[in-house]
Amino acid sequence: MTDGEIRLEGVDFTYPDGTVALRGVSLAIGRGEFVALLGPNGSGKTTLSRLLNGLLLPTAGRVLVDGIDTRERTVAELALRVGYLFQNPNHQLVSATVRGEIAVGPRARRLPAAEVEGRMMRASVLLGLEALLDEHPLLLTLAQKQLVALASLVALEPLVLVLDEPTTALDAAERRAVMDLVQSIHATGRTILLVTHEMDLAGEYADRCLALSDGELIFDGSPRQIFTDEDTLGRASLEPPQVAQLAARLGQPRPWLSLDEAAAALLSGRSAAPGE
Ligand code: ADP
């Protein structure tokens, strides 16, 4: 079946040195979902995300991407379905111009020149990079580099984008700009898996949260649910975002997920947040 689903079935992963990073993880992510993968350091987030594009293969169980068992394809083939944005964009940039960088994937696929150019332009427009096409990627700001790395993934038109802590080391304005553009990519029908320990990003952008603790999946539900689930918050060492904590202090029946939602509720004097 080619419905773009990601499916993990009873997945264990043990590193060669014997470290057990994932145990018995089963889950399905449908096409077009925006999922935040949460959990403390060492809980298995990076391991899980690297299983999705075949960088790692499960030591037990199966990982299926769009109906394909990741054991049966190469990383290069899986990269057409799952784009992986590393934390540090400097590790991902290889070309002398932004234009060349965005076109690397389509060129490597040997697409016709007009298709390469079309994809490069579409990705650069989507990520607001048109004015930077002739710049050297390594001379850009960190946030711009992150957007170029994202654009080069988008140009491959994958079903799924895995973003591993994409806003680390960005300031607040850059962080919002990058996340708003990630949301634009999501709006084109891509599935997004955002690996993060920043709960406010999960609340503002994700529809669904998964939480790992010590290699086990301990939560699968909405941001609003996790923000009030004391047991999960404690086990995964997570703290709800300040805006959700404010809602609790003010005795709101449900947590707010964003400043906009808090402002709207406070200004209108409503006691409840809008529906899911
Ligand atoms: P997270 O991304 O949540 O910080 P990781 O997936 O990186 O978690 O790590 C999960 C567990 O696997 C941790 O105990 C970590 O120390 C261990 N681990 C990660 N990478 C390796 C590796 N290359 N070799 C051995 N153990 C590793």
pTM (2 decimals)?
0.90
Q: Does residue 242 carry a pLDDT above 50?
A: yes
Residue whose CA is at the smallest distance from ligand 1 atom 14 = 42
How many Cα atoms within 13 Å fall on the side-chain side of residue 82?
Answer: 29
What is residue 205's three-state secondary structure? helix
pLDDT, averaged across the chain: 91
Residues 148 and 276 in one domain: no
Which residues span the domain enclosing 218? 6-226
Q: 170: CA distance to ligand 1 center in Å? A: 24
Residues 123 and 250 in one domain: no
More confident residue, 257 or 69: 69
What value does the mean pLDDT take over residues 233-239?
Answer: 89
Q: Are 139 and 61 in contact (CB under 8 A)?
A: no
- At 168-189, the pLDDT tens digits run 888 888 888 889 999 999 999 9
- CATH number assigned to the domain comprising residue 23: 3.40.50.300
Residue showing tokens 């899911």? 276
How many domains, the chain? 2
Q: Cβ–Cβ contacts within 10 Å for residue 36, how many?
A: 26
Q: 21: CA distance to ligand 1 center in Å? A: 6
Q: 42: CA distance to ligand 1 center in Å? A: 5
Q: Establish if 125 belongs to a structural domain.
A: yes
User: Cα(15)–Cα(58) distance, rounded to whole angstroms?
Assistant: 10
- At 98-131, the pLDDT tens digits run 999 999 999 998 999 999 999 999 999 999 999 9
The ligand 1 atom nearest the CA atom of 22? 10
Q: Are 92 and 86 in contact (CB under 8 A)?
A: yes
Residues 250 and 146 in one domain: no
Testing ligand 1's pocket by substitution, the residue of 43, 47, 59, 168 carrying the most ligand atoms inside 8 A of its CB is: 47
Q: 268: CA distance to ligand 1 center in Å? A: 46
